[in-house]
Structure 1
Amino acid sequence: MSDTGDPESVVKRGDDVDYEPVDAAEGLSKGVLLDESDGAPNFAMRRFELAPGAAVPRHTNAVEHEQYVLAGEYVVGIGDEERPVSPGDALLIPAGVEHWYRNEGDEPG
């Protein structure tokens, strides 16, 4: 933020994003693209990568998730349904709905 309190724009290069392992699942890493530290107090944009053979266990979240698949193919479970997803697919997972992920492929998803 500037001294005047006006919001400032942010352009963060992909190479400047640090990725770290996520404790919830082996083979899952996360990079924070934008969040409150960038001046977005009500928004977080993150990029996750799920390694081949890795899975994220069933869980719920207090807030909805909007997701966009950038690369790879994997299975996402939402509620009592499983669906394969691939690049270009978009997902909406409502708050409080159980969901999980499984990468059965040979490349990261």
Structure 2
Amino acid sequence: MTDCKKLRPGGTYDGKQGFSYFEGIAKETAGAQGICMHLLTVPPGGRARAHKHATHETAIYVISGRAKMYWGERLEHCMETGPGDMIYIPADVPHLPLNDGDEPAVAVIARTDPHEQESVVLLPELEALVPA
């Protein structure tokens, strides 16, 4: 029999992308088989490394604050996000989120990778395409 689990964000871990995530639902914490879900707070001035998630989709719900996400093969697109926005990132799409505002941006992130970090592919060759 499989048990249901309840978790509260407590500890954090550093993701390859350059952000600290609150531990959430994942293979390691809840035995998830096909999904992970975490809470992310991006501080003012926070910026991820350019990356993609190989073969895994991502869904984001912005709770508070504002952020930008550059995306595309050369990070040529820019999306501004705010409270109440839902963002979908297809598998293998390069992206780089950042918070150039003066308040933290808080979001719930869900991905079809139950291990969360296994599918992260860093793309350092794209870093300079987004102004600091």
TM-score tier after normalising by the smaller chain length: 0.7 to 0.9
- Taking structure 1 as the reference length, what is the TM-score of the superposition? 0.80
Is 2:45 the partner of 1:53? Answer: yes
Is 2:36 the partner of 1:44? Answer: yes
Contact preservation (8 Å) 1:7, 1:39: no
Q: Which residue in the other structure is 1:83 paired with?
A: 79
Shift, 1:88, TM fit:
1.0
Shift, 1:39, TM fit:
2.8
Higher relative contact order (CA closer than 8 Å, sequence separation 6+): 2
Q: Aligned pair count?
A: 100
Tell which structure's C-alpha radius of gyration is larger: 1
Matched residues in 2 for 1:107 and 1:58: separation? 22
Contact preservation (8 Å) 1:34, 1:40: yes
The match for 2:4 among 9, 18, 33 is: 9
List alignment gaps of at least 5 residues for structure 2.
106-132
Superposed structure 1 runs of 4+ greater than 6 Å apart: none
Q: Which residue in the other structure is 2:101 paired with?
A: 105
Percent of residue pairs identical: 27
Query: What is the one-letter code of the residue matched to 2:93?
Result: V
- Could you give the per-residue CA deviations for residues 10-56 of structure 1, whole angstroms, max 9, x where no partner exists? 12234xx212333532xx21012111231322211112221101111
Q: Which residue in the other structure is 1:21 paired with?
A: 14
List alignment gaps of at least 5 residues for structure 1.
1-5
